[in-house]
Structure 1
Amino acid sequence: MRTVLAGSVGNAVEWFDWTIYASFAIFFSRQFFPEGNETTALLAAFGIFAVGFFMRPVGGWLIGIFSDRYGRKAALALTILMMAGGSLIIGLTPTYATIGLAAPLLLTAARLIQGLSLGGEYASATTYLTEMAPDNRRGFYSSFLFFSAAAGILAASSIGWLLTSTLSPEDMNAWGWRIPFLVGALGGVVGMWIRRSAPETETFSKSKKSGVEKQPLRTLMRQHPREVLRIVGFSVLTTFAFYLFVAYVPTYAIRHVNADPKTAFAANTVALIVFMVVQPLFGMLSDRIGRKPQLIVFAAGYLIFFYPLMTSMGPSFGSILAVELFGLVLYAMYTAIGPAIMAEQFPTSVRAVGIGAPYNLVVALLGGTTPYLLTWLQANGMEKWFFYYVLAGAVITLITFIRMPETAGQPLK
């Protein structure tokens, strides 16, 4: 399990750093965008959030190629260094009142760096964990990618719960929001130290002896177009699910149903604990019964129940928790084995870039715009239109799962 720890601990740091931006934007947005009202400032902050997302395909492409050429271990070290550096910049950047336009520019630069990092992290960590796993336990090993992501996100939600419970709204807006970014930068140092001892995967070492792909994107398009489209299909609903139920529901509950911030963060934290705990269970289950049954239940569940549950959310802890548990437990059926099913689509020579490029492109186009679009629709009284958008994504992903071949227990290509 030492290799599982090395492959996943940095992922926890990555997702902590990435999530605190979405979670704390409601507090720091006016510090960087003082002109206009609260909604205008929040839209500007989420606009930068979206800009960071559009660097993810570039990161998935560049760092994916780097991983396929120079190794999974080197790529994992690079991504965590970039993410922690971005958090440090945000945590130390003065406000607009102090340095003017330089403040939002520095914020944007930090998010661009973090976008590159996260785009490369998913592909590199996915290939590392799945290549280290025995064929009959790949689902179980795969589950630790989102187990660690949930741990990082849980830490972000927990620090939000703690800070909003101990600091006044004025203190949160003035300086409290900086604390989690500085904690994330420190966590990057710890992750770097742990990953130094990680061994390279045997699969990559053997593949490297045969040479590297000189034109990996061309190889993907010519030799693996069906697999690339399959990754796109996997990623539509799963992207919506992540950013709705992990990052945005607390903000949605606070602004839309007038929930207390402490209540919203508390419900999010409890749901994330459950989400984290069930990851290995669903991973092991898929190794026994196959990947497809879980995936079909996940997509069909969203298609049937998502709209009525979201539109019935109330401000109480129980109501928010019920919606969060619905979204996250069903989503866990996918996340536990998502890395495995993606890795099982491609040969070793293009595995990292084959995952990183199409997956992060979808995340950039859909996930990066989700908080912004939801905030804009909510401000104009049209948030239900977004729910129809998600349901259309559920149809696409469900069809992809039904048509995909079963890959459980088969050797990697």
Structure 2
Amino acid sequence: MIEARRVKSILGGSAGNLVEWYDWYAYAAFTLYFAPHFFPKGDQTTQLLNTAAVFAVGFLMRPIGGWLMGIYGDRHGRKAGLTLSVTLMCAGSMIIALTPGYETIGVAAPTLLVIARLMQGLSVGGEYGASATYLSEMAGKNHRGFFSSFQYVTLISGQLVALIVLLVLQNVMSEAALDSWGWRIPFAIGGVLAVVVFWLRRGLAETESFARKEKAKSSFGALITQHPREAALVMLLTAGGTLAFYAYSIYLQKFLVNTSGFDRATASQINAAALFAFMLIQPLGGALSDRIGRKPLMVGFGVLGVALTYPIFVTLERTRDPMVAFALMLGALVIVTGYTSINAVVKAEMFPAHIRTLGVALPYAVANAIFGGTAEYVALQFKGWGWERGFYWYVTAMIGVSLLTYLRMRDTRKHSQILED
């Protein structure tokens, strides 16, 4: 009975997480189509830079979301935090779906786009901490890595569903219609699905860890003064992992068009196929960590990421074969699985229950804003400067920083702060 309740709660939390991340990634998937509508006419790289900057602005709200909703989730429950985050995501998606273009309302168009992304950034900032904590606490001790890996399964699924919607629209609509108004459809879908998730999350069970937590209150001051080492570890282990993930997935879709020379439809197909395989191997990574520990997987990602990131990007520059591009992208994503499949549980296992959501959410969101959210912008800026390969070295260096962190930290499977089974 207990196991059935756990599985039901994990599936329920994961389904909501999928919709949240679909809404977030729909922006990235359809950037090539809506960029000309929100900004003045210019060359493609300039318009992509503008939309990438707005993408990064959304990430700047994630630390604030992690801070405010992390405290909210620690004080009022993981379920309450999950419900609040999806409400904000719904509002942001509907604003993007309904906002007229730059030629109609001028500067108000990019302004509303920024407002929508700020709301979504606030939402995702709280969503990550709440969902990572909820899934880690709901899972039993012996399968915590496996079940918490579904946090990234649903994150990737959201990105994949956004790409599938893109592929479907590319096949059922003309290019002109998709460029003109069809790009609004995925944001409208996301807004409607977020309403469904709101009601789904209201029926979730609360975790035992929250029910038994200490009476001490969660706050920014408490996190910094009582858990400074753990907060710093979360930031450092996240830096290389999140940058690699966004470089290998979100940015690569644009890279295949803007550098490799593939058409938009082919690049989307390559991206979708690689992400689907990537999604399937996340539970394998989580289950492996339950047997051998979390640390070996993270060290493996660090070593392979440092060694192979530059060669993978350089090879992708000159490939014109979709199968070769797919193999290279999938290889990069397999490498980063050593981080993505277990990063949620590693962070949750570092903190006691009364401050766990904040401890997971805020340092992660800060690192994500600095390194993940700016990945596309930095990559395109290097390209604009005429030194695109500088970005490859940047990714390699940050993975190296995280690798040093992995080598020095304790294995959280053996030293977990999640005491309930």
Is 2:111 aligned against 1:108? no
Is 2:123 aligned against 1:117? yes
Q: Secondary structure at the match of 1:312?
A: helix
Is 2:58 aligned against 1:84? no
1:240 to 239, 243, 249: 243
Residue 411 of structure 1: how far off its partner (Å):
5.4
Q: Is the 8 A contact 1:157 1:269 kept in 2?
A: yes
Matched residue, 1:188:
194
Q: Is the 8 A contact 1:135 1:411 kept in 2?
A: no
Residue 166 of structure 1: how far off its partner (Å):
3.4
Matched residue, 1:53:
59
2:160 to 137, 154, 157: 154
Q: Is the 8 A contact 1:86 1:114 kept in 2?
A: yes
The equivalences for 1:273-312 within 5 A come to 273-312=276-315
Percent of residue pairs bearing the same amino acid type = 42
Q: Secondary structure at the match of 2:199?
A: helix
Distance 1:18 1:124 in 2: 16
Distance 1:148 1:243 in 2: 16
2:38 to 32, 37, 59: 32
Runs of at least 5 residues in structure 1 that lack an aligned partner in the other structure: none
Is 2:123 aligned against 1:137? no
Matched residue, 1:72:
78
Residue 224 of structure 1: how far off its partner (Å):
1.4
Matched residue, 2:3:
none
Distance 1:58 1:195, change over 3 A: same
The equivalences for 1:275-354 within 5 A come to 275-313=278-316, 314-354=319-359
Residue 376 of structure 1: how far off its partner (Å):
2.1
Residue 196 of structure 1: how far off its partner (Å):
1.9
Matched residue, 1:224:
227
Residue 67 of structure 1: how far off its partner (Å):
0.4
| Letter matched to residue 86 of structure 2 | I
Distance 1:312 1:168 in 2: 33
Is 2:386 aligned against 1:389? no
Runs of at least 5 residues in structure 2 that lack an aligned partner in the other structure: 1-6
Is 2:217 aligned against 1:213? yes
Q: Secondary structure at the match of 1:177?
A: helix
Distance 1:369 1:276 in 2: 23
Mean Cα deviation higher: 148-157 or 56-65: 148-157
Distance 1:55 1:325 in 2: 30
Residue 280 of structure 1: how far off its partner (Å):
1.2
Distance 2:249 2:45 in 1: 21
Distance 2:23 2:157 in 1: 12
| Letter matched to residue 56 of structure 2 | A
Distance 2:24 2:325 in 1: 23
Residue 372 of structure 1: how far off its partner (Å):
1.3
Distance 2:374 2:341 in 1: 25
Matched residue, 1:97:
103
Residue 258 of structure 1: how far off its partner (Å):
0.7
Q: Is the 8 A contact 1:10 1:195 kept in 2?
A: yes
Mean Cα deviation higher: 71-80 or 276-285: 276-285
Is 2:15 aligned against 1:12? no
| Letter matched to residue 176 of structure 1 | G
Matched residue, 1:402:
407
Is 2:276 aligned against 1:270? no
TM-score by length of 2: 0.94
Q: Secondary structure at the match of 2:413?
A: coil
1:359 to 353, 356, 364: 364
Q: Is the 8 A contact 1:260 1:315 kept in 2?
A: no
Q: Deviations over 1:273-296 (max 9, x none)?
A: 111111111111110111111111
TM-score by length of 1: 0.96
Mean Cα deviation higher: 344-353 or 37-46: 37-46
Residue 169 of structure 1: how far off its partner (Å):
3.0
Q: Is the 8 A contact 1:11 1:148 kept in 2?
A: yes
Q: Is the 8 A contact 1:68 1:351 kept in 2?
A: yes
How many residue pairs match? The answer is 410
| Letter matched to residue 374 of structure 1 | A
Q: Secondary structure at the match of 2:212?
A: helix
Distance 2:376 2:174 in 1: 25
Mean Cα deviation higher: 168-177 or 391-400: 168-177
1:251 to 251, 254, 275: 254
| Letter matched to residue 156 of structure 2 | A
Distance 1:187 1:381 in 2: 42
Q: Is the 8 A contact 1:33 1:104 kept in 2?
A: yes
| Letter matched to residue 242 of structure 1 | F
Distance 1:175 1:124 in 2: 35
Residue 189 of structure 1: how far off its partner (Å):
1.9
Mean Cα deviation higher: 164-173 or 227-236: 164-173
Q: Deviations over 1:249-298 (max 9, x none)?
A: 11110010110212111111111111111111111111011111111111
